[in-house]
């Protein structure tokens, strides 16, 4: 069974620090990788996606993908209290448009 | 542009009643997904529509759940004979025809079965 695993947290970081969120996946055929943010009581919101090995940067966010290790991470630089949320990792395998979802990591940024 | 819309935003129903939840995807998005999220839990996949293909119903938890998509756009999720364990937030998402198939979510419908 295809799985996506994340530490549930909570991950607590001080304001201004770098938050590092990690995700591993079981299906080596996975091709696209997504990070979503979900505030309490709200629906998931796409932060960014990555499909090539290496780093992809978008503002304060950097996604890192290592297909050999089946590992994808999200770095949040200069963390702000407004970044406090649950971060969901999702993985797409091949041409199937379904995403396999992790359970999410709760992040708390402390002022 | 307009995002995914869902209605109603909240629904309270009595056990045993039928409910219909509606989703209107982003214009031009060919794929539509329904998920369920119970309080404090992860996303549970329910059903997926892609164009005119047969839907992937592999996540529907029982035969009380059904969904249809009319004209390749609006979708309705129907729950018959609701049970208390059906209480959750029902989320709809849509994605484009071309990859990488990122999904965009609606605001959800919070269903409470009393």
pLDDT in tens, B12-52: 999 999 999 999 999 999 999 999 999 989 999 999 999 88
Rg of the Cα trace of chain B? 13
Predicted local distance difference test score (pLDDT) of residue B70: 85
pLDDT for the residue numbered A94: 64
> What's the mean per-residue pLDDT of chain B?
94
Interchain CB distance below 8 Å, B102 and A45: no
Among B48, B89, B99, select the one facing A98 at the smallest CB separation: B48
Predicted confidence at residue B34, as pLDDT, reads: 98
B1 — pLDDT class (breaks 50, 70, 90): low
* Intervals of chain A under pLDDT 50: none
B-chain residues near A103 (CB < 8 A): 41-42
Q: Are A7 and A19 in contact (CB under 8 A)?
A: no
Given a cut of 80, whether residue B99 has pLDDT beyond it is no
pLDDT of residue B76: 98
Residue-wise DSSP of B33-94? EEEEE-TT---EEEEEEETTSPPB-TT--STTEEEEESTTS-EEEEE-S--GGG-EEEEEEE
Rounded to the nearest angstrom, the minimum Cα separation between B107 and chain A is 5
Query: Which residues in B lie closer than 8 A to residue A90 (C-beta atoms)?
Result: 103
Three-state DSSP class for residue A83 = helix
Average pLDDT over residues B80-107: 93
Tokens of A35: 């990070």
Cβ contacts below 8 Å, chain A against chain B, sum to: 49
Which residues of chain A have a CB within 8 Å of the CB of B21?
none
What tens digit of pLDDT does each residue of A49-59 get?
999 999 999 99
| A32–chain B nearest CA distance, Å | 6
DSSP A75: E
Query: Of A32, A37, A65, A98, which to mutate for an interface test with B (greatest number of B Cβ within 10 Å)?
Result: A98
């Amino acid at each position: 069974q295809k799985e996506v695993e994340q530490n549930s947290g909570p991950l607590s970081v001080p304001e201004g620090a770098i938050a590092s969120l990690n995700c591993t996946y079981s299906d080596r055929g996975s091709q696209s990788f997504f990070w979503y943010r979900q505030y309490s009581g709200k629906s998931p919101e796409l932060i960014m996606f990555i499909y090539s090995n290496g780093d992809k940067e978008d503002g304060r966010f950097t996604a890192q993908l290592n297909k050999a290790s089946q590992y994808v991470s999200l770095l949040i630089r200069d963390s702000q209290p407004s970044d406090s949320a649950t971060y969901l990792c999702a993985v797409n395998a091949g041409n199937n448009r379904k995403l396999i979802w992790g359970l999410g990591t709760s992040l708390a940024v402390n002022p | 542009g307009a995002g995914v819309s869902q209605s109603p935003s909240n629904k309270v129903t009595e056990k045993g009643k039928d409910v219909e939840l509606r989703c209107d995807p982003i214009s031009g998005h060919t794929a539509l997904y329904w998920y369920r999220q119970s309080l404090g839990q992860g996303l549970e996949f329910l059903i997926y529509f892609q164009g005119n293909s047969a839907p992937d119903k592999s996540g529907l938890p029982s035969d009380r759940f059904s969904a249809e998509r009319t004209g390749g756009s609006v979708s309705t999720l129907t729950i018959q004979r609701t049970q208390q364990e059906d209480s959750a937030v029902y989320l709809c998402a849509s994605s484009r025809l071309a990859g990488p198939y990122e999904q965009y979510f609606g605001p959800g419908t919070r269903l409470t079965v009393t």
